[in-house]
Amino acid sequence: MKNIYHPLHTEEILNRIDKLSPNSKPEWGKMKVAQMLAHCSAFQDIAMGHSSPARGWLGILIGNFVKPMFYNDKPVARNMSTIPTILIEDEREFEAEKEKLKEKIITFQHNGPEKCTTHPHAFFGTLTPEQWGKGIYKHLDHHLKQFGV
């Protein structure tokens, strides 16, 4: 599984983000491209410890059992539910969101595993920095595929 801590994997993701345009259309889902970028940016905030959504009851019940789906090689299911606090429904400005996400990805990669959050994921619970690195790559890959890049 690819990992956002690996410089080549980070570079690949950043290059794919650069292929997006304000006119990019989703192959599934309701988010517009700028909303998707903001959603991914909000997810980066969680991994960086800038935001710590509370765990929901379903995650507390089954999160540990399904945790490997966050960082394994299997693709994320289309239209899978998300953490409510990072569901972006308002309009966003494409270029600003694109640059903000790229900066957060670069910062996260440069900070390394040592500065990854220790706060539990809202659904999956406690994750190691390695699991976060794989999960972030997988999450970004999922949404970039959603928009055809």
Low-confidence ranges of the chain (pLDDT < 50): none
Position 15 in a domain: yes
Amino acid 84: pLDDT: 86
Residue 140 lies in a domain: yes
Q: How far is CA 83 from CA 1, 19, 75, in A?
A: 23, 26, 18
pLDDT at residue 80, rounded to an integer: 84
- Residue 2 belongs to some domain of the structure: no
Q: Is residue 29 part of a domain?
A: yes
Does residue 1 belong to any structural domain of this protein?
A: no
Number of domains, the chain: 1
AA letter at 47 = A
Q: Does the residue 64 lie in any domain?
A: yes
The span from the CA of 60 to the CA of 138, in Å, is 22
From the number of C-beta atoms within 10 Å of its C-beta (0-12, 13-18, 19+), residue 44 rates as buried
For residue 75, give every residue at least 6 positions away whose Cβ sits within 8 Å of its Cβ, in sequence order, or none: 142, 145
Residue span of the structural domain in which 66 resides: 7-146
Q: Is residue 85 part of a domain?
A: yes
Can you read off the two tokens belonging to residue 125? 């619970």
Q: What is the predicted pLDDT for the residue at 21? A: 98
pLDDT in tens, 83-123: 888 999 999 999 999 999 999 999 999 999 999 999 999 99
| Residue 78: inside a domain | yes
